[in-house]
Amino acid sequence: MACAYAVFIGTGHRCVSDPTPTISHPSSDRDTAVPALRRIPLRPPPIRQHLMGSLATAELCDANASLLAKGELRVLQPMFQTYGQCRAFCGPIVTLKVFEDNVLVREVLEAPGDGRVLVVDGGGSTRCALVGGNLGQLAQNMGWAGIVVNGCIRDAYEINGCDIGVRALGCHPLKSNKKGLGEKHVTVNIGGTIIHDGEWLYADSDGILVSAIELSL
């Protein structure tokens, strides 16, 4: 007797066949293998870490108390939301100061990132977005490790699919102005923390650190 079976996809689970069990049919002179169905939970996508390795921000703080005391290692205020596939990332900082205008953001991201992190001081404005899905994809393609925005993003669903790390104050559906105003490679102040171009940034689920030098444990 021929036997057919199906694979079912359900919310949060995937049903797959297990061909081990058999059922004996009295009317038949042979046993027919009937695959049993076993529910296996679908695993969430792995949280990616870009370049961080084992450099957790909490451990970096514990191991560098002297740098914290001297202000050479600084902790950003816990005011950022997490986006992107890379939940932990680090790299040399490129600074940008703009206000409700993202022309320079695109201009900077069009250059090879080489594992760097773009820190955008948008003045803390929550009236429009400075980074959207297209810029998130551009940053991924050009090799940027991450983007930190003192402002908002949009197209969060698209950015969450990009293989980069993104931190922002929140989301806003309105696009920004396109006047090209702003400054590159300048010292910025984000939430009371001074950040210089060329310093190092370390981000994970515990927070964001800015260091005058590259750190190690």
Q: Is 170 annotated as a binding residue?
A: no
Q: Is 154 annotated as a binding residue?
A: yes
Q: Which amino acid is at 184?
A: K
The answer to whether 188 touches 102, Cβ cutoff 8 Å, is no
Q: Is 133 annotated as a binding residue?
A: yes
CA 156-157-159 angle, to 5 degrees, is 60
In angstroms, the CA 103 to CA 178 distance is 6
Q: Is 106 annotated as a binding residue?
A: no
In angstroms, the CA 145 to CA 147 distance is 7
Helix, strand and coil content of the chain, in percent to the nearest 5, comes to 15, 40, 45
How far is residue 67 from each of residues 57, 82, 113, 211, measured CA to CA in Å? 13, 26, 27, 8
Q: What tokens does 216 get?
A: 């190690």
Decide the pairing of beta strands 13-18 and 9-10: antiparallel
In angstroms, the CA 106 to CA 85 distance is 20
Q: Is 71 annotated as a binding residue?
A: no
The answer to whether 182 touches 98, Cβ cutoff 8 Å, is yes
Q: Is 64 annotated as a binding residue?
A: no
Give the annotated binding-site residues for substrate. Answer: 132-135, 154
Q: Which residues are annotated as a binding site?
A: 132-135, 154-155
Binding site membership for Mg(2+): which residues?
155
